[in-house]
Structure 1
Amino acid sequence: MTPTLPPLPAVEAPWLDRLAHDLRGPLAPLQTASYLLQRDDLDPLRRQELLAMVERQTRRLGSMLDELNDWVRAAQQRLLGPREHCEPAVLLDYALVGSGLAGTAVDEDGNIAIVDGDPQRLTQLLRALLDYAGNRGNPPVLSLRSGDGRVRIEVRVPGPPPDAAQLQALLLQPQAEPFDEGLGLRLLIARAIAQAHGGDLEAIVEDDRLRLRCELPLADPPPAAT
């Protein structure tokens, strides 16, 4: 049974104003490109540049809409798809490849942890953490530990940590300056994914470093053979 989640943070009117502004952002260059691409005298090199820009801005707009859709699904507590037994270590490898961080070392305890979850959503959660950390210039420091019925995945973010106010808002409010040119909801959605699995995601500062720490319950072991 999917656990009942705490309500997501309320989105205030100023953020809705920014949402409309951000969604219009990709439209202006797309409209300009559409106009220019109709010209018969357009230089071939310029045409290729415009087509590349159309692809980039279309992809950005699609990501924004996916982000908004996930936020709505999380608010309605219907974020998860089919669940299965999966290994967080394997999902972390998938997320590292998707984030362009393949080969980054992970400090593991050697245990084979298994969780009962939606592998697509859990990979999305890990991608959000890695993309946020990877945007700081240096690769993050990663660890994976299991015990006491839970698995803990920690991403230590390079660079100076946020101040107290920024830390408090990091997983509770949309980011004013998104790290990925998105809508600033990805970390909030990541936390909703963790909570939908009966776990949680927290942001803490230790040793003068921001740590994004995700904990998930381990799957129940199969019943012993009789």
Structure 2
Amino acid sequence: MSEEPSRLDFRILLRTATSRDALIASAVLERAQFDPQVCTDMAGLVRELSAGAGAVMLAEEVIAGPVMTELKVALASQGPWSDLPVIVLARQGADSRAIAHVMDEFANVTVIERPMRVAALVSAVRTALRSRRRQYELRDLLDGLRDADQRKTEFLATLAHELRNPLAPLSTALSLLARKRPSPAESEKYYELMRRQVDHMVRLVNDLMEVSRITRGKIELQMRPVLLDAVIDDAIELSRPLVERAGHTLSVEMGAEPLVVRGDAVRLTQVFSNLLNNAAKYTPTGGRIRVSAGQQDRQAVIQVSDTGTGLSTDMLKSIFDMFVQVSGTSKAAQGGLGIGLTLVKSLVELHGGSVEAASQGLGLGAEFSVRLPLAKSAPLAPPPGIASQDAWGPTLDEVILVVDDNRDAADSLADLLRTLGATTFVAYGGEEALRVAQSERFDIAVLDIGMPGMDGCDLARHLRAEPGGDQVMLIALTGWGQQGYKERIAAAGFDHHLLKPLNLAEFMTALRAA
């Protein structure tokens, strides 16, 4: 970000014909509360210009010849926001070729004929400095826009990077289910794995949807007591395909006492998965990776070490900077953007912890130590998985209308509701849903919002206007979660607003309220 303009940024750089003229001009400018800087030659003026200036004041006598090339080059090297005012003190009489040349070469030129009135000189300088101040404001605005754009770019790159992690076990589990045709009991573990990874992806996508958090560089954590053993198990699950593909040996040493911290389980899983991924990528085939955890001074200390490429002394601190990769390891990074360790550091610090890297040198492996404050309370029980349908109690006996222009989404949700005992009707648009409503009775309507033609909010108002419509529970199931959409959905008469993809626990809670 740009700093506030300093005194140097508003100086008037003077290059006059004689030293006596310089003294007179300086005195006039100082009495008017300006800050003049006399320059004895053009090279000196150019040097001062690099330190900052609000305007340049030149006598006509010094603007002839090649010396002006120096000034032109110096002005051209400034940022695109800069248009430094140039004030020329011209000799009395007809316009000279030198004056005409300056006006052709420089865009922001003011010519004042000598002898001049003091008021005219002061007015010209004030105008020049006001123009310069606006240029500084434009510079700060452009820098701010670039900074905001850079944060968005970094966030999107981080999101894309992190989405690849849960996609790997999801793809593997789907392939196993298709190829093995396992029994229901054996399939349960794959369904549970996929549920966890989908939840992980949903959290990451939710970060993308909240644009205001991106521009402020903030990520909202869902803090609760978390058992680190479970977090590290999940991280190992995410990283296992990469570790096994490289033929590494992975050992885990957890302390006898459970380690409970207050944190966001998904974000902490990201931390240790990134560390494990880095260890796997930067360790030659057949290497060793070790994860150990214990407690020290009321802190959980988790270490991830490897027998990989190691780090030089000068890389130990910069390794956590955005986009930094160890020199000569781009192939090992497998196309990575160099953002994993930056994310690790940011997330650990948001949890009140710290992370540091250690290495004996290049080729001697590396060790990353994460320290997190221990919590006093026990971790909360994890939410039940999709496979645990008994936890939802008795089967549903409601009649439910499902409306979504995405046929796969509508049909799969209707199938799920039927497995829970509900009777369902399906419509693939607002008009079709109204025709169903005129011929059928239902207790609950689950509506998509972003449908072409009649959207979900318009449909909700029409359904409320139907006979008995005030007795129907309306549930919005949509990908739109921003505050503006929440307000619009509430105003349309919905009883509940749920986000896609379906969170079965939240959905069943809403249905039970019917």
Query: Shorter chain as normaliser: what TM range?
Result: 0.5 to 0.7
Q: Quick one: structure 1 residues 129 and 165, their matched pair in 2 at CA, closer, same or farther if it must change by over 3 Å?
A: same
Choose between structure 1 and 2 for higher RCO, CA contacts under 8 A separated by at least 6 residues. 1
Aligned mate of 1:144, from 293, 299, 314: 293
Deviations 1:1-41 (A, max 9, x none): xxxxxxxxxxx99xx7xx79xx8xxxxxxxxxxxxxxxxxx
Aligned mate of 1:194, from 348, 352, 355: 348
Q: Quick one: structure 1 residues 213 and 73, their matched pair in 2 at CA, closer, same or farther if it must change by over 3 Å?
A: farther
Aligned mate of 1:126, from 268, 272, 275: 272
CA distance in 1, matches of 2:255, 2:360: 21
Deviations 1:125-145 (A, max 9, x none): 111000000112324111101
Q: Quick one: structure 1 residues 74 and 139, their matched pair in 2 at CA, closer, same or farther if it must change by over 3 Å?
A: farther
1:155 aligns to what?
A: 304
Tell me how far 1:90 sits from its aligned partner.
1.1
Aligned mate of 2:255, from 85, 92, 109: 109
Tell me how far 1:183 sits from its aligned partner.
2.1
1:213 aligns to what?
A: 369
Cα RMSD over matched residues? 3.4
Residue 209 of structure 1 aligns to a residue in which SS?
A: coil
Partner AA of 1:92 in structure 2: I
Given that residues 85 and 117 in structure 1 are in contact (C-alpha distance below 8 angstroms), is that contact kept between their aligned partners in structure 2?
yes
Residue 154 of structure 1 aligns to a residue in which SS?
A: strand
Tell me how far 1:153 sits from its aligned partner.
0.7
Given that residues 225 and 377 in structure 2 are in contact (C-alpha distance below 8 angstroms), is that contact kept between their aligned partners in structure 1?
no
Tell me how far 1:146 sits from its aligned partner.
1.1
Q: Which runs of 4+ in 1 moved over 4 A?
A: 72-75
2:219 aligns to what?
A: 79
Partner AA of 2:370 in structure 1: C
CA distance in 2, matches of 1:74, 1:201: 23
Normalising by structure 1, report the TM-score: 0.61
Given that residues 115 and 216 in structure 1 are in contact (C-alpha distance below 8 angstroms), is that contact kept between their aligned partners in structure 2?
yes
Aligned length: 163
2:470 aligns to what?
A: none
Q: Quick one: structure 1 residues 179 and 118, their matched pair in 2 at CA, closer, same or farther if it must change by over 3 Å?
A: same
Given that residues 279 and 308 in structure 2 are in contact (C-alpha distance below 8 angstroms), is that contact kept between their aligned partners in structure 1?
no
Q: Quick one: structure 1 residues 210 and 99, their matched pair in 2 at CA, closer, same or farther if it must change by over 3 Å?
A: same
More helix by share: 2
Given that residues 156 and 210 in structure 1 are in contact (C-alpha distance below 8 angstroms), is that contact kept between their aligned partners in structure 2?
yes
Partner AA of 1:79 in structure 2: I
Partner AA of 1:155 in structure 2: V
Structure 2: tracts of 5 or more residues without a match: 1-145, 158-200, 379-514
Rg bigger for which structure? 2
Tell me how far 1:77 sits from its aligned partner.
5.2
Aligned mate of 1:89, from 229, 250, 274: 229
Deviations 1:162-196 (A, max 9, x none): 21222231112422448252321111011100000
| Percent identity between the two aligned chains | 22
CA distance in 2, matches of 1:74, 1:144: 33
Tell me how far 1:201 sits from its aligned partner.
1.1
Q: Quick one: structure 1 residues 164 and 154, their matched pair in 2 at CA, closer, same or farther if it must change by over 3 Å?
A: same
